[in-house]
Chains A and B, each alone.
Chain A
Amino acid sequence: DAGVTQSPTHLIKTRGQQVTLRCSPKSGHDTVSWYQQALGQGPQFIFQYYEEEERQRGNFPDRFSGHQFPNYSSELNVNALLLGDSALYLCASSRLWTGAAEQYFGPGTRLTVT
Chain B
Amino acid sequence: DQQVKQNSPSLSVQEGRISILNCDYTNSMFDYFLWYKKYPAEGPTFLISISSIKDKNEDGRFTVFLNKSAKHLSLHIVPSQPGDSAVYFCAASDLTGNQFYFGTGTSLTVIP
Contact = CB atoms under 8 A, between A and B. Distances in A.
Interface of A: 4, 35, 40-45, 48, 55-56, 58, 90, 92, 99-108
Given A100-B34, A100-B49, A103-B46, A41 B97 contact: no
Interface string B18-49: 00000000000000101010000111111001
Given A90-B43, A106-B43, A107-B43, A101 B49 contact: yes
Contact of A100 (B42, B43, B46, B103): B46
A101 B34 CA distance: 8
20 contacts: A35-B102, A40-B104, A41-B104, A42-B4, A42-B102, A42-B104, A42-B105, A44-B102, A48-B98, A56-B98, A99-B97, A100-B32, A100-B91, A100-B100, A101-B34, A101-B46, A101-B49, A103-B46, A103-B100, A108-B43
B46 to A, nearest CB: 6
Given A44-B102, A101-B46, A103-B46, 15 more contacts: A35-B102, A40-B104, A42-B103, A43-B89, A43-B100, A45-B99, A55-B98, A90-B44, A99-B97, A100-B34, A100-B93, A101-B49, A105-B43, A105-B44, A106-B43
B40 to A, nearest CB: 10
Contacts of A101: 34, 46, 49
Contacts of B105: 42
Interface of B: 4, 6, 32, 34, 36, 41-46, 49, 89, 91, 93, 97-105
Which 3 A-B pairs give the minimum distances between C-beta atoms?
Answer: A105-B43, A42-B102, A56-B98
B5 to A, nearest CB: 10
A106 B41 CA distance: 10
